[in-house]
Structure 1
């Protein structure tokens, strides 16, 4: 098969989105016959029909739908390449890609990155941030497809280097009318009589909960499964279930007055996050600067207030 032409792929996606070749031709300032010829050549190269004409306009065949899905991915990647490379011409001195777990993203990481980019010496550094679960993060780190990751330090980092970042503490989120709301602190074991709200089974919080329940030989009963902490708070606020959530995140939901946060007494409830990378010295200078900034902010956050004040 010949190399795929980006212009043809872009026109194909546009035709499928609008189901009207004439409209796409007008918007693209190209003759409809030229678009038809390009797509016909693509069909010939691939040996499969991609489009059919119906009374409702142009429709994709199953092969056309499959190609369109891949085409969107290719076009997105091409746009990112163009943006990243041409950014250097505008004076940006470096680009850093960082992956982070949902807990890290929901807490202080975004604020720390924002403060990094506000510093005058970093004004020409671009930082791309992507959220993913720990297993995916570590796989990307080991494959070298990203420079920096932020995740729970109990993860198996293997040969990756790390620096300590911030700490958080898991707590039980309950509705203020819930029977457990009278507690000021609680053991995780004592929450297992009640139904929980759970998140993805491969998320760090759920893995910790499952391990803790297994150690005491009791199951976790889930009433609701959600994909993020915001949804978990909504479930608790509706008094449908209780949830295990980092207490640092609860400050973002102060308006949810019906929710009470009760710190867990278990040792494992105190977590620490790490900044991980393959080799600090091998990182590009912009990435090194970001790692040092995050580590410094994390150190200040871990120090007692009086000690941190002396270092400012």
Structure 2
């Protein structure tokens, strides 16, 4: 039974990508070499690990079992390199981070950019996902750190308070909601919306809260960024529900108006989560501490009900 760490990294990459070519590209080898290595790994394991389908590569039950062990093994190897790396100068490593749209755009990106500038030998894979999906992904070792809104209680993850943010309604300056101190969310649903794209956590949350109110939001346009939303609201295309941190610059500049939502769910506690079992590599631990201790982030944990600017 002979195989290398490269074979296991390739196996994990193909499983994550659900495709041979994409998995091969992730570990920088050709598809033909990848196919050879996977056949060798299956021979060494004595069982089929993938089923080739029209949709790509799907894991067999044996493959699912192996993937769980491979994730744990590679995490241990990464932790080993991280701890040994402390004896050389600087942090070195690769971190996988998942965040919901509110934390990503309001807090995470500024922190990440500063961290990367300070640690040039650390690389970060950053992906947006909806909050419920982040918990499952961290528990399954698909990522190292997750930042999400709402309840993060799960047996397989450990949670730390990260930041406090608030969802607000932004409107054109001349809109009939502009100037109101507070409204019920259902009142906002009487008007046209603009929103992030249909797969974004921001839109999924807007749709879920609308359904709980017995309505469906009339979204005139989906755009890929919050800046696009702010521009469309300023132009009078519709209103939007966005994180307060995202809207603050545009509110201060007098581009849009804002109004608070009366619903308790509008004020949201963001959490940082990691797996509850096993130790993180030193560079991942250092990054998690950097995120939590960022002064701009930490300040929100003490200013839950500060007034809106403007």
TM over 0.5: yes
| 1:74 has 2:71 as partner | no
Name the residue aligned to 2:271: 274
| 1:249 has 2:246 as partner | yes
State the Cα RMSD in Å. 3.4
* 1:145 pairs with one of 117, 137, 142: 142
Larger Rg: 1
Name the residue aligned to 2:41: none
Deviations along 1:103-157, whole A, 9 cap, x unmatched? 21211212333454566xxx47614041221255444323213211111133675
Check the 8 A contact 2:194/2:240 in 1, yes or no: yes
Name the residue aligned to 2:229: 232
Distance 1:283 1:200 in 2: 33
Provide closer, same or farther for how the CA distance between residues 72 and 191 of structure 1 changes in structure 2, counting only shifts above 3 A. Answer: same
Name the residue aligned to 2:100: 101
Check the 8 A contact 1:247/1:263 in 2, yes or no: no
Higher share in helix: 1
Check the 8 A contact 1:237/1:256 in 2, yes or no: no
* 2:216 pairs with one of 219, 237, 244: 219
Distance 2:216 2:146 in 1: 32
Name the residue aligned to 1:192: 189
* SS across alignment from 1:182: coil
Distance 2:236 2:123 in 1: 39
Check the 8 A contact 1:172/1:242 in 2, yes or no: yes
Distance 2:300 2:179 in 1: 30
* 2:157 pairs with one of 136, 140, 160: 160
Deviations along 1:47-92, whole A, 9 cap, x unmatched? xxxxxxxxxxxxxxxxxxxxxx96466335428xxxxx9x979965
Check the 8 A contact 2:101/2:202 in 1, yes or no: no
TM-score w.r.t. structure 1 length?
Answer: 0.62
Provide closer, same or farther for how the CA distance between residues 261 and 162 of structure 1 changes in structure 2, counting only shifts above 3 A. Answer: same
Distance 1:247 1:139 in 2: 27
Deviations along 1:188-237, whole A, 9 cap, x unmatched? 12111111123344544334333433343333222222233122212212
| 1:285 has 2:235 as partner | no
Aligned-residue offset at 1:268: 0.7
Check the 8 A contact 2:193/2:220 in 1, yes or no: yes
Check the 8 A contact 2:179/2:257 in 1, yes or no: no
Q: List alignment gaps of at least 5 residues for structure 2.
A: 1-18, 30-77, 305-310
Distance 1:256 1:161 in 2: 39
More divergent stretch after superposition (265-274 vs 109-118): 109-118
Aligned-residue offset at 1:101: 2.2
Provide closer, same or farther for how the CA distance between residues 273 and 94 of structure 1 changes in structure 2, counting only shifts above 3 A. Answer: same
TM-score w.r.t. structure 2 length?
Answer: 0.62
Check the 8 A contact 1:198/1:222 in 2, yes or no: yes
Provide closer, same or farther for how the CA distance between residues 225 and 95 of structure 1 changes in structure 2, counting only shifts above 3 A. Answer: closer
Distance 1:275 1:158 in 2: 15
Check the 8 A contact 1:102/1:131 in 2, yes or no: no
Aligned-residue offset at 1:100: 1.8
